Structure 1
Amino acid sequence: MTTHHEILEAALARITAGYVFPERTAAIDTALRSRLAEGAYQGLDERELCELVTDDLQQACPDKHLRLLWGEEPQPMDEEPENVARARFARHAREHNYGIRRVEQLDGNIGYLDLRLIAPAELGGPAIAAAMQLVATTDALVIDLRQCRGGSPEGVQLWCSYFFGDDEVHLNDIYDRGTDSTRQYWTLGHLAAPRYPDRPVAVLTSDVTFSGGEELAYNLKVLGRATLVGGTTRGGAHPTARIQISPHVTVTVPTARAINPVTGTNWEGVGVEPDLAVPADDALEAALEHLRTAVGRR
Structure 2
Amino acid sequence: MTPFVATEPIQSLSKSNFPVIYRASHSGDEIGGVLQKSRALAIAAAGQLRAGFCVLWKSVSASMREFSGRRSWVAVVKCCMPFSDYIVYVDESGDHSLRSIDPHFPVFSLAFCIFKKSDFVDTVVPSVQRLKFEFWGHDAVVLRGYEIRKQHGDFVILREARARTAFIDQVNKAIEAAPFTVIAAVIDKIAHKKKYTEPRDPYEIALVFCMERLFYFLRDLGQGDKTTHLLVERRGAKEDAKLELEFRRICDGNNQAGKMPNLDIRFMDKKHNSTGLQFADLVAQPIARRVIAPDQPNRAYDIIERKLRRDGKGNATGYGLKIFP
Which structure's CA Rg is the greater one? 2
TM-score bracket for the superposition, by shorter chain length: under 0.3
TM-score, reference length from structure 1: 0.24
TM-score, reference length from structure 2: 0.23
